[in-house]
Chains A and B, each alone.
Chain A
Amino acid sequence: MSIRYEAVIGLEVHAQMATETKIFCGCSTKFGSEPNSQTCPVCIGMPGVLPVLNKKAVEYSVRTGLAVHSTISPYSRFARKNYFYPDLPKGYQVSQYEMPICEGGHLEIILDGEVRRIGLTRIHMEEDAGKNIHEGTGPHSFVDLNRAGTPLMEIVSEPDIRSPQEAAAYMKKLRSVLRCLEVCDGNMEQGSLRCDANVSVRPVGQKELGVKVELKNINSFRFVEKALEYEIKRQIMVVEDGGKILQETRLFEPATGVTHSMRSKEEAHDYRYFPEPDLVPIEVEKEWLDKIASSLPELPDAKRERFVSAYGLPEYDAELLTLDTATSEWFEKVVRAGGIPKSVSNWMMVELMRLLNEDGMSLEDSPLKPDMLAGMLKLMDNGTISGKIAKTVFEEMYKTGKDAGTVVREKGLVQISDSNALEAAVDDVLIKSPDEVERFRAGDEKLISFFVGQVMKATKGKANPGMVNELLREKLTKM
């Protein structure tokens, strides 16, 4: 009998805060500018300069902490993390070590309809480093310090995650919370959200943890899953072959989907942390804390619960619709305009998402607006168009940005509910299909859908399916 293994995963997520300016100086944090154009003596670490803390960074960290149920430290401080690297201008990173701004907390994720709670260890503030540029620079390397000093939150989870899928769901949920709070734009391509993972494996049922490996550079939702899948498989193989997992840092290579060793435990840096003497401790006063707490928006979890209870949506729909504010707002606009929640959800998640994905567009850019979907749903409701026509109308609205009424009128897509017109079409079909009529009358009642299909085809989908059904049964029994 073979042993079954489980993975134990903890994630360290670096989130760039969406502040206008850097954490310790007034330079802009804008992405993609000319190299070193957003620098000053402070963020390039010139002799004699001193940091001055950006209060917004503290506020954003506190907002986040409150949203994920952390304890906000009334008194915290910065520390220096010392190491040499060209993209680190001072030779140390100003971070938090012994006294982070937030401790504890949790996030809830939903996987296979089940709610799981992932604990958080801490959230701390720190400054980002710059970027070394090695490509296209000839024999030299260059350093771009535009990013140096951009405020980061490091959000550290407990080792509560058990699978790559959970890890991805955790990342998505975290991103959704950060975006909802407007403290981070969550853009993984631009590096606004970066992830390292600590992974170990152990036989199911075993209490003590296996030796952990730190995985670096897993900077997309897909890579989080891929890298963890690979690493877990690798570790299980090593253990099953009687080998030992080495405590080390491994780098994930997106191109090959493989992780490889970057440095061993012995080569690990000694960062020589000590309290940053150039900054005074951060005191979060109760009054300010209360003010921030009262300004928090409705968070994804609360919204999900509300969507389930108020709109009667399944958990799955509610979770997807509440992952980002744009989606939930879009949904609620349609519902407020009279759409039935479940069908709004269906149209959004099936048709709209498909079309947007095909075009690589976001919901904000959608030419199809909430009131347009609401209008279409009304036409369905009052029988003007059928579900089938609705699909055509939907695509046409998306393509042209015209509302449902206009599309229906211009394309002549109004449902045929005129019994005289329908009768003619039904008669025509029955005359053309004597064999099927014979078989139906002999008891093969399933053929009713064949007849309906033929009528719909003849009317180019415009026939009212209910009425067609009724007419057919009437005629066939009379025959």
Chain B
Amino acid sequence: MSPLLQLNACGVPLKLNELTIIELRTLLDKREIRPHEILDDVYGRMDAVEDRVHAYLITTKKQAYKAADEAEEAIKSNQASILTGIPIAIKDNMCTKGILTTCASKILYNFIPPYESTVTAKMKEQKYLPIGKTNMDEFAMGSSTENSAFYPTRNPWNLQCVPGGSSGGSAAAVAADECIAAIGSDTGGSIRQPASFCGVVGLKPTYGRVSRYGLVAFASSLDQIGPLTKNVSDAAAMLSVIGGHDPLDSTSAPSGLPDYAEVLGRDIKGMKIGIPKEYFVEGMDQEVGDTVREAIKKLESLGAIPVAVSLPHTEYAIATYYVVATSEASSNLARYDGVKFGFRREGKDLMEMYMKTRAEGFGAEVKRRIMLGTFALSSGYYDAYYKKAQRVRTLIKQDFEKALKEVDVIVTPTSPGTAFRLGEKTTDPLQMYLSDIFTISANLAGVPAVSIPCGFSGDMPVGLQIIGGHFDEASILKVAYAYEQSTDWHVRRPSL
């Protein structure tokens, strides 16, 4: 074991799995620790808590230790990059060559991609350690990870509660120190809401900032990949690795990446932070509201200037989202037809094979959304639903553009409540959808947003959402970092 200088709050030396990317980078580069030792601690932690948390769908020890050998070689020859030798968990909707990729769906229960997603390929190039694939709501459709076809993931802060979703496995793995950082995907809040529920940092970059190649599509015009991390610096570090143009994704933006690490730590004095009145409404958890208002005061004390702004079309966001996202999903999920890969149930003819395969292969929520989307695109309904939703989407985008001309970032609660109990909302899809009410607009507008821990309501973490202009991740990370530096919410860990 390496000589570790860090002690936790109780004076006990930290295990390597409890450290951050930046901390481990230093230790690795100084040759004080080996990548294998980090893996030992990560897998040790999994052995201790995974039967209660269920953050992972599969673990890939063999690949991880093999990668650790390569990482060690790279470090020895001074070829290390930021993620070299760092164990990172991958949400199971990212294609990983030769490693099962199920999207937590029965219909892909046996799917092993013959190709690598661009995001994991970029991390592989840096010799990250692929430790396993994390649980999620089936096809990323859900806000609690209860829609996994295999088992639900539990919130490390309270095992009776959900971790949020759909990247619930990734958020829980980070919160429970079962990884150093994780990759998630966010279509309507699927990184930020679970980050908020689990008390970790979750960043949804600008649409087009990170390549979607190899991300199993839910809603192509909304999906975006991003990191879930233990602090803001790690999120910035991850973005600098996974971001940038990809010739394999026509919707990835050509613009170059700024040096995020350099941006962090800059003064936020005089920065205008917009407070949209539509995000502080009746019906939201009182303590959550108070906690976020407290956080805004903290930012003010750091020199930021709060400005009241309005995002007038906010009330239409959920309806718009559920038309656009389900329409795209109904088409994106058509390829799971039993013909070429994945689950198949034979039938007496082609039609029966299709119907049985899809009826048995998809879970209830996925089928509900496919039907919604199919309906919205049907002839005679297209104009009233899909087309109208696209128009409202434009208005929502314009709301943000207008507000962000007056302010540098917008600050809101990430979710109107904290993690709810398992089963609490499974019978009421609408209630479930409402837990994404504050995160959905950023996807519709394509703007970047980050959720950072800003306190607790009862025993459960509360998230602060910081939204920025298109391709201005630097501003939201700067504000998030300044806040994080003056608080200690992010270092708190659940006792498991």
Q: Do A48 and B214 contact each other (CB < 8 Å), given the known contacts A82-B334, A91-B334?
A: yes
Say if the beta carbon of B3 comes within 8 Å of chain A.
Answer: no
Determine if A50 and B331 form an interchain contact, defined as CB atoms under 8 angstroms apart. no
Determine if A272 and B250 form an interchain contact, defined as CB atoms under 8 angstroms apart. no
Say if the beta carbon of A296 comes within 8 Å of chain B.
Answer: no
B-contact 0/1 string along A123-144, CB 8 Å cutoff: 0000000000000000000010
Determine if A52 and B250 form an interchain contact, defined as CB atoms under 8 angstroms apart. yes
Determine if B248 and A50 form an interchain contact, defined as CB atoms under 8 angstroms apart. yes
The docked-state distance in angstroms from the alpha carbon of A168 to that of B55 is 65
Say if the beta carbon of B158 comes within 8 Å of chain A.
Answer: no
**Which of B101, B249, B251 contacts A47, CB < 8 Å?**
B101
Determine if A91 and B335 form an interchain contact, defined as CB atoms under 8 angstroms apart. yes
Determine if B386 and A48 form an interchain contact, defined as CB atoms under 8 angstroms apart. no
A-contact 0/1 string along B7-30, CB 8 Å cutoff: 000000000000000000000000
Determine if B113 and A84 form an interchain contact, defined as CB atoms under 8 angstroms apart. no
Of residues 77 to 117 in A, which have CB atoms within 8 Å of B's CB atoms? 80, 82, 84, 86, 89-92
Determine if B221 and A277 form an interchain contact, defined as CB atoms under 8 angstroms apart. yes
Closest chain-A Cβ to B490's Cβ sits at a distance in Å of 32
Determine if A272 and B378 form an interchain contact, defined as CB atoms under 8 angstroms apart. yes
**Which of A53, A90, A143 contacts B250, CB < 8 Å?**
A53
Say if the beta carbon of A447 comes within 8 Å of chain B.
Answer: no
Say if the beta carbon of B408 comes within 8 Å of chain A.
Answer: no
Say if the beta carbon of B114 comes within 8 Å of chain A.
Answer: yes
Determine if A91 and B337 form an interchain contact, defined as CB atoms under 8 angstroms apart. yes
The docked-state distance in angstroms from the alpha carbon of A280 to that of B253 is 11
- Give every chain B residue within 8 A of A91 (Cβ-Cβ): 331, 333-335, 337
Say if the beta carbon of A278 comes within 8 Å of chain B.
Answer: yes
Give the one of A50, A51, A278 with max B CB within 10 A.
Answer: A50
Determine if B331 and A92 form an interchain contact, defined as CB atoms under 8 angstroms apart. yes
Determine if A274 and B331 form an interchain contact, defined as CB atoms under 8 angstroms apart. yes
Q: Do A47 and B379 contact each other (CB < 8 Å), given the known contacts A84-B354, A91-B335, A278-B251?
A: no
Closest chain-B Cβ to A27's Cβ sits at a distance in Å of 14
The docked-state distance in angstroms from the alpha carbon of A419 to that of B250 is 83
- Give every chain A residue within 8 A of B250 (Cβ-Cβ): 50-53, 278-280
The docked-state distance in angstroms from the alpha carbon of A46 to that of B108 is 11
Q: Do A48 and B114 contact each other (CB < 8 Å), given the known contacts A82-B377, A84-B354, A91-B335?
A: no
Say if the beta carbon of B496 comes within 8 Å of chain A.
Answer: no
- Give every chain B residue within 8 A of A45 (Cβ-Cβ): 335, 340
B220's nearest neighbour on chain A, judged by CB, is A277
Determine if B335 and A48 form an interchain contact, defined as CB atoms under 8 angstroms apart. no
- Give every chain A residue within 8 A of B347 (Cβ-Cβ): none
Say if the beta carbon of B303 comes within 8 Å of chain A.
Answer: no
A91's nearest neighbour on chain B, judged by CB, is B334
- Give every chain B residue within 8 A of A80 (Cβ-Cβ): 331
B342's nearest neighbour on chain A, judged by CB, is A47
B-contact 0/1 string along A36-62, CB 8 Å cutoff: 000001001111111111000000000
B-contact 0/1 string along A255-286, CB 8 Å cutoff: 00000000000000010111001111000000
- Give every chain A residue within 8 A of B378 (Cβ-Cβ): 270, 272
Closest chain-A Cβ to B307's Cβ sits at a distance in Å of 34
Say if the beta carbon of B327 comes within 8 Å of chain A.
Answer: yes
Interface positions of B (Cβ within 8 A of A) = 93-95, 101, 103, 108, 111, 113-115, 117, 212-217, 219-221, 247-251, 327-328, 330-331, 333-337, 339-341, 350, 354, 374, 377-379, 382, 386
A–B complex contacts, Cβ < 8 Å, 11 sampled:
A41-B114, A49-B115, A50-B248, A53-B250, A84-B337, A84-B354, A86-B337, A89-B340, A272-B377, A277-B220, A278-B251
